[in-house]
Chain A
Amino acid sequence: MADQTMLMMAVRGCNVGLMRGGAGQPLVILHGASGAGTWLPFMRSLADTYDVVVPEHPGFGASDTPDWLDNIHDLAYFYLDILDQLDLRAVHLIGVSLGGWIAAELAIRSTRRLSSLTLVDAAGIHVPGVEQIDTFLRTDEQRIRDFFHDQALADEMVARLLKPELEDVTMKNRVATARLVWQPRGYDPNLHKWLHRIDVPTLLVWGANDRLFPKDYAFAWQRLIPGSKVAIVPECGHVPHVEKPSVFVSELQSFINGMRAAA
């Protein structure tokens, strides 16, 4: 199980935090609204096989909040710049929730540096008539609980994450999230028109019991991205990579191995 290094890197004058570990084909993970957090078990496990790169979005955590940051499009272009600057090639791009939205926006602009795309319980599109939680009217504790199907695990996460020393970074992440997703709430009305442009193998991993972006969303993405595959993780909420890390890693591995077999 590979360890990671943490560093700050400057991209076009914006300092961003970056965790990186392992070796192999590059695998970039774009985090969700609650931030990059720590080097999680699924990252550790993927780092056995890949060069795992986890940048912290501008506006979040230790990264700067640049003046130019207004919307998801800004981050999509910024990450294209990061891929250029790090000169990463044949990247497996994983986007989780909010990060999934960024990853999809990046991929409709250019897949030049991508080998595959994986969206995990992603924001970014709107499916009419599907009930969703308004996370901005939830308390800090409710918001953590909403992520998980297993409420015993949620108890553990509440104990771990609801700490006074994390308040500043939590609030910074909330402000960054509001800036990006408040209106329209969590999607871009134009994104669905251009998802046909994604020409790399695409996997949609979804928690069967996600209450933020219920699994109808997985199938809606599947209809919009040509040839994409859906993997529903049973007994699992919004964050399968955290709630069911081994299932998540094995779904991802078999998807990537399947790509190799097909190639």
Chain B
Amino acid sequence: MKVFNFHLMPYRHADLDAIEKNGSAWVTYSNRHYDPDKGAELYHEYLDQMELADRLGFDGVCLNEHHQTAYGMMPIPGVLAGALARSVKRAKLAVLGRALPLLNNPLMVAEEYAMLDNLTRGRFIAGFVRGIGAEYHAMGINPVQSQGRFAEAHDLIVRAWTEPGPFAYTGKHYQFNYVNPWPRPCQRPHPPIWIPSQGSSSTIRWAAAMRYTYAQTLSPIAVVARFFQMYRDEAEKAGYQASPDQLAWSNTIYVAETDEKAMREARPHLEALVNRFLKMPIEMLLPPGYSNIESMKRVRAAKVTGKTSSIEDLVKTGVVIVGSPNTVREKLAEYQDLAGFNTSLTKTQFGTLPDDMARANMTAIAQEILPHFRNRAPQGKQQAAAE
């Protein structure tokens, strides 16, 4: 298994009561609550953590993109990827991903990612996402056009990387007389493309057909297993057998000496993540047209946005793994076998977790967990596919 250090870069000094009062840390949570002096320190703290992950032996570091929120301070992840491209010496560098439909010029992602791939001499992983619903409120992009813009932007970027330019592109949403980006990507034909998603069946089908690595965001492990099975089924329909390397589970891991200590230490920070930083009203999460009506009804019926989760809930359902080294090893192996993935995208800092605890967690994971998983592939029913 490959383990990546996935950072959301939350504004961890956020006033949690003010977020609760506002109903969300997104879009309408005033940036008056952002203290630039603290924010500047946080960027350096988080970039230092990513560099530490590289030295500790994590296989990669991951950034992502969110707008107008205390949940994550990476509206332009390429800035941070640029900062890390030279200081992260060995690990892969992944942006998971840029939200393509939010852009009026997707060619700039073709350029940005190609630059990062050159800067890292081919250690770059290119993530493409649609962005969550809140982003369509924040960025003034019509959610009804989300899927169409994503599909077109993706096609344009891949063509820009693989077809000799200049050529003309005429789409419904994007038109260019000259597609001819310099530089071209370092990796041939292009950097690996990864597709993070909340589990939309159309996205899973498409990612499987394109043989892109599919990354499942924050979900109970049973749900993750079901979506990964859907991916393997879709791959079979597309005429090939999916490898566990094409499946990545996005999780949170916290390790301390004992289960009890780990739970106690992680509790406030993890609960701040799920109950404050992630909270938003359903109208913000799912603007009309962002998903088809059936999925919108399913999410609305589940009332996901109203629930409050305790760390016990998150551990029990396997959204996160928290415990002693032994517990974490057991759970991670169990979940790997259950869901059949070979990449773990692990948040080691989460919510309000301070720097010293995040670094201790990363060090513990590197010492106690990573060595046991370096050569481990999914066992049991996924074994055949792994070989």
Question: Which residues of A pack against B, CB within 8 Å?
Answer: 136-139, 167-168, 171-172, 174-175, 177-179, 182-183, 185
B222 on interface, CB distance cutoff 8 Å = no
* CB-based nearest B residue for A172: B293
Q: Are B143 and A182 closer than 8 Å at their CB atoms? A: yes
* CB-based nearest B residue for A174: B288
B137 CB to closest chain A CB (Å) equals 7
Q: Are B144 and A178 closer than 8 Å at their CB atoms? A: yes
B193 CB to closest chain A CB (Å) equals 28
The answer to whether A136 and B283 touch (CB under 8 A), given A171-B288, A175-B289, is yes
Residues of A within 8 A of B28 (CB): 137
B284 on interface, CB distance cutoff 8 Å = yes
Contact for B297 among A171, A177, A178, A183, CB less than 8 A: A171
Residues of B within 8 A of A174 (CB): 288
Residues 107 to 155 of chain B near chain A (Cβ within 8 Å): 136-137, 140-144
Q: Are A136 and B287 closer than 8 Å at their CB atoms? A: yes
B238 on interface, CB distance cutoff 8 Å = no
Interchain CA distance A179-B288 in the complex, whole Å? 8
Residues 24 to 61 of chain B near chain A (Cβ within 8 Å): 28
A237 CB to closest chain B CB (Å) equals 20
A72 CB to closest chain B CB (Å) equals 13
A40 CB to closest chain B CB (Å) equals 24
Residues of B within 8 A of A178 (CB): 142-144, 287-289
Residues 135 to 194 of chain B near chain A (Cβ within 8 Å): 136-137, 140-144
How big is chain B's contact interface, by range? 10 to 19
Contact with A along B248-292 (1 / 0, CB 8 A): 000000000000000000000000000000000101100111000
Interchain CA distance A137-B280 in the complex, whole Å? 11
The answer to whether A179 and B297 touch (CB under 8 A), given A137-B28, A137-B137, A137-B284, is no
* CB-based nearest B residue for A181: B142
The answer to whether A138 and B283 touch (CB under 8 A), given A171-B293, A174-B288, A175-B288, is yes
Q: Are B140 and A183 closer than 8 Å at their CB atoms? A: yes
B296 on interface, CB distance cutoff 8 Å = yes
A169 CB to closest chain B CB (Å) equals 10
The answer to whether A175 and B144 touch (CB under 8 A), given A136-B283, A137-B137, A139-B281, is yes
Q: Are B293 and A168 closer than 8 Å at their CB atoms? A: yes
A186 CB to closest chain B CB (Å) equals 12
Q: Are A182 and B281 closer than 8 Å at their CB atoms? A: no
Contact for B283 among A137, A167, A179, A183, CB less than 8 A: A137
Interchain CA distance A183-B149 in the complex, whole Å? 15
B104 CB to closest chain A CB (Å) equals 11
18 more contacts with CB within 8 A, not counting A137-B284, A171-B293, are A136-B287, A137-B28, A137-B137, A139-B281, A139-B283, A168-B297, A171-B288, A172-B293, A175-B289, A178-B287, A178-B289, A179-B142, A179-B144, A182-B136, A182-B140, A182-B287, A183-B140, A183-B141
A interface: dominant SS: helix
Q: Are A136 and B288 closer than 8 Å at their CB atoms? A: yes
B278 CB to closest chain A CB (Å) equals 17
Residues of A within 8 A of B289 (CB): 175, 178-179
Residues of B within 8 A of A172 (CB): 293
Q: Are B296 and A171 closer than 8 Å at their CB atoms? A: yes
Residues of B within 8 A of A177 (CB): 288
Residues of B within 8 A of A183 (CB): 140-142
Residues of A within 8 A of B144 (CB): 175, 178-179, 182
Residues of B within 8 A of A136 (CB): 137, 283, 287-288
Which 9 residue pairs across A and B have the least CB separation, nearest first?
A174-B288, A178-B288, A182-B142, A179-B144, A175-B288, A175-B289, A183-B140, A178-B289, A171-B293
Residues of A within 8 A of B140 (CB): 182-183, 185
Residues of A within 8 A of B283 (CB): 136-139
Interchain CA distance A138-B141 in the complex, whole Å? 18
* CB-based nearest B residue for A185: B140
Name the residue in A137, A167, A185 with the highest tally of chain B Cβ atoms < 10 Å from its Cβ. Answer: A137
Interchain CA distance A83-B284 in the complex, whole Å? 38
A60 CB to closest chain B CB (Å) equals 12
Name the residue in A136, A138, A174, A175 with the highest tally of chain B Cβ atoms < 10 Å from its Cβ. Answer: A175
Residues of B within 8 A of A137 (CB): 28, 137, 281, 283-284
Interchain CA distance A120-B199 in the complex, whole Å? 43
Residues of A within 8 A of B287 (CB): 136, 178, 182
A136 CB to closest chain B CB (Å) equals 6
Interchain CA distance A132-B28 in the complex, whole Å? 15
A162 CB to closest chain B CB (Å) equals 13
A101 CB to closest chain B CB (Å) equals 16
Interface pairs (29), CB distance under 8 Å: A136-B137, A136-B283, A136-B287, A136-B288, A137-B281, A137-B283, A137-B284, A139-B281, A139-B283, A167-B297, A168-B293, A171-B297, A175-B144, A175-B288, A175-B289, A175-B293, A177-B288, A178-B142, A178-B143, A178-B144, A178-B288, A178-B289, A179-B142, A179-B144, A179-B289, A182-B144, A182-B287, A183-B140, A185-B140
Interchain CA distance A136-B281 in the complex, whole Å? 11
A68 CB to closest chain B CB (Å) equals 11
Interchain CA distance A179-B148 in the complex, whole Å? 12
Residues of A within 8 A of B142 (CB): 178-179, 182-183
Interchain CA distance A138-B289 in the complex, whole Å? 16
* CB-based nearest A residue for B28: A137
* CB-based nearest A residue for B293: A171
Interchain CA distance A137-B283 in the complex, whole Å? 5
Residues of A within 8 A of B296 (CB): 171
Interchain CA distance A174-B282 in the complex, whole Å? 14
B164 CB to closest chain A CB (Å) equals 33
Residues 271 to 330 of chain B near chain A (Cβ within 8 Å): 281, 283-284, 287-289, 293, 296-297
Interchain CA distance A66-B140 in the complex, whole Å? 24
Name the residue in A139, A179, A185 with the highest tally of chain B Cβ atoms < 10 Å from its Cβ. Answer: A179
Residues of B within 8 A of A185 (CB): 140
